[in-house]
Copies of this chain bind each other. A is one copy, B any other.
Amino acid sequence: MARDARGGTAQNEDFASWYTELVFKAGLVDRGPAKGTMVIRPYGYRLWELLQEELDRRIKDTGHENASFPLLIPESYLSREAEHVEGFSPELAVVTHAGGKELDEPLVVRPTSETVIGEMMSKWVASHRDLPLLLNQWANVVRWEMRPRMFLRTTEFLWQEGHTAHADADSAMRETTWALEMYSQVARDIAAMPVIAGEKTAGERFAGAASTFTIEGMMGDGRALQAGTSHYMATNFAEAFGITYAGEDGGSTLCHTTSWGMSTRMVGGVVLTHGDDRGLVLPPRLAPHQVVVVPIGKGDALARVEREAGDLAERLRRAGVRTHVDTRPQVSPGFKFNDWELKGVPIRLELGPRDLDSGTGVLVRRVGDEGKETVPLETLPERVPAVLDEFQAFLLRRATRFRDAHTVTVDEWTSFAEAVSTGWARAFHCGNAACEDDIKAHTAATPRCVPLDADAESGACVRCGAAADYDKRVVFGRAY
């Protein structure tokens, strides 16, 4: 087999293997002992923490409050919403014994928290003054996975789940749209993932939702990744759990609820969007180390360089740059360069005795056409933040170009099949579930979403020729 410089599988050889090898080699993750579980190692967890900070701030700034709901949910709760239990039953992990005894009623490990939060909302909401009720939870959830894949599909994953209750449909739909737009911005501005936002077709909806919205990113192999979802539940869960408020006439009115989530799957999305055969490529906004300084030299000269590197790092940190100095004595500078490329650090600063004499260092970007650059050390605290911004913008531009180059507007079946073999197809569809299934059986592609910002258009279904539903083209692609 062809191998890249690191001895791993190359992207164009087997993208799936490239991904799996990389997340382990780069120290993001390890396998947990139970089937499909993962250990998120410090380097991967720090990336998740940085994403959490961005999400949490936006969630709080808009009046949502964090809370914590129980991990273990009585099995009967799930049955109260018929579609919900049907959707989640095959994936449940069930606690049948506790405290040394068999339980009277089994408890499921939460696969999501609509039911238990619905139950609490019914206690907390009495009048319109309690609405909207805007809650969020940072939590772990468990969904039994038959074909696990690190970060993308794991038996346990971490996420935030927003849950809100509203007096009417309008207010709930505004919330659903707000969450979707918030996710789009975080994906684009923080993860440098140029997602498209749209509505899911009926077959891809969340179990129990009236409508499901999604952001979809294109990964480096042209497949789609559902990177965040926002659901409008109408009164489905309010009916099931009795979430009502006293209306102005004194009568009892059902609330409209929403839920929305983004998870550790995003870590996988960052790897799949930006990575290359040399390793990860991290957007600066999510990079645990934005700059790594590698001191070069021997003996006394090295000691001097390391002192200067430490001072420089301190000045960069004061300028808000997450900086690491690699002083490992047992490995060579070349090893370090490769190692930090594998780990996707945006900027490497090489510092040797001769550089110090001339007051300069060598700045190397992880990717891009600008190559190596000799820069005066004293300008770095000002310069580096700008270079990081440029690097962040470059990744987004590159990913957008890639996505656009692999998205084709098609009107007939052969072009459709060709388009979804390497990327996405924008096509008309009849909206018929059997026709969706037929497309999936032939191409492995599914409708990813009906983009919100697409123009109104009409035409004939790309597969069956019937009149198109949705009034616009649907984006199809193979998905993770």
Candidates B45, B70, B116, B135; contact of A68 at CB < 8 Å = B45
Pick the 6 closest A-B CB pairs, nearest first.
A99-B144, A42-B65, A32-B70, A40-B68, A37-B70, A93-B98
Shortest A347–chain B CB gap in Å is 22
In the complex with contacts A34-B73, A45-B67, A98-B107 CB distance below 8 A: no
In the complex with contacts A67-B40, A67-B42, A99-B146 CB distance below 8 A: yes
Residues of B within 8 A of A38 (CB): 70
In the complex with contacts A73-B33, A123-B30, A89-B95 CB distance below 8 A: no
Residues of B within 8 A of A92 (CB): 98-100
With a 10 A CB-CB cut-off, give which of A68, A90, A135, A144 has the most chain B CB atoms.
Answer: A68
Residues of B within 8 A of A146 (CB): 99
A residues 11-38 near B (Cβ < 8 Å) are: 30, 32-34, 37-38
Residues of B within 8 A of A158 (CB): 68
Nearest residue in B to A97 (C-beta to C-beta)? B94
Q: Is A39 touching B67 in the complex (CB atoms < 8 A)? A: yes
Asked if A177 lies at the interface with its beta carbon under 8 angstroms from chain B, I say no
Residues of B within 8 A of A39 (CB): 67-70, 120
CA distance A93 to B72 in the complex (A): 10
With a 10 A CB-CB cut-off, give which of A48, A65, A70 has the most chain B CB atoms.
Answer: A70
A contact residues, range: 35 or more
Nearest residue in B to A77 (C-beta to C-beta)? B33
Candidates B97, B98, B116, B156; contact of A32 at CB < 8 Å = B116
Q: Is B89 touching A109 in the complex (CB atoms < 8 A)? A: no
In the complex with contacts A95-B95, A99-B146, A70-B156 CB distance below 8 A: yes
Nearest residue in B to A104 (C-beta to C-beta)? B35
Asked if A129 lies at the interface with its beta carbon under 8 angstroms from chain B, I say yes
With a 10 A CB-CB cut-off, give which of A45, A73, A74, A77 has the most chain B CB atoms.
Answer: A45
Q: Is A65 touching B46 in the complex (CB atoms < 8 A)? A: yes
- Would you call the interface of chain A mostly helix, strand, loop, or mixed? mixed
Mark A residues whose CB is within 8 Å of B: 30, 32-34, 37-42, 45-46, 48-49, 65-74, 77, 89-100, 106-107, 109, 116, 119-120, 123-124, 129, 135, 139-140, 142, 144, 146, 155-156, 158, 330
CA distance A127 to B258 in the complex (A): 51
CA distance A461 to B90 in the complex (A): 61
Nearest residue in B to A137 (C-beta to C-beta)? B45
Residues of B within 8 A of A330 (CB): 129
CA distance A46 to B64 in the complex (A): 12
Q: Is A97 touching B99 in the complex (CB atoms < 8 A)? A: no
Q: Is A71 touching B156 in the complex (CB atoms < 8 A)? A: yes
Nearest residue in B to A99 (C-beta to C-beta)? B144
Residues of B within 8 A of A37 (CB): 70-72
Given contacts A68-B158, A71-B71, 8 further A-B contacts (CB under 8 A): A33-B74, A33-B119, A34-B74, A38-B70, A39-B67, A46-B66, A71-B140, A95-B95
Nearest residue in B to A329 (C-beta to C-beta)? B129
In the complex with contacts A32-B116, A33-B119, A129-B330, A72-B42 CB distance below 8 A: no
CA distance A67 to B98 in the complex (A): 27
In the complex with contacts A123-B30, A330-B129, A135-B42 CB distance below 8 A: yes
Q: Is A100 touching B93 in the complex (CB atoms < 8 A)? A: no
Shortest A220–chain B CB gap in Å is 25
In the complex with contacts A42-B66, A49-B66, A65-B45, A71-B142 CB distance below 8 A: yes
Shortest A79–chain B CB gap in Å is 14
CA distance A142 to B109 in the complex (A): 11
Q: Is B90 touching A100 in the complex (CB atoms < 8 A)? A: yes
Shortest A104–chain B CB gap in Å is 10
Shortest A133–chain B CB gap in Å is 10
Residues of B within 8 A of A107 (CB): 34, 93
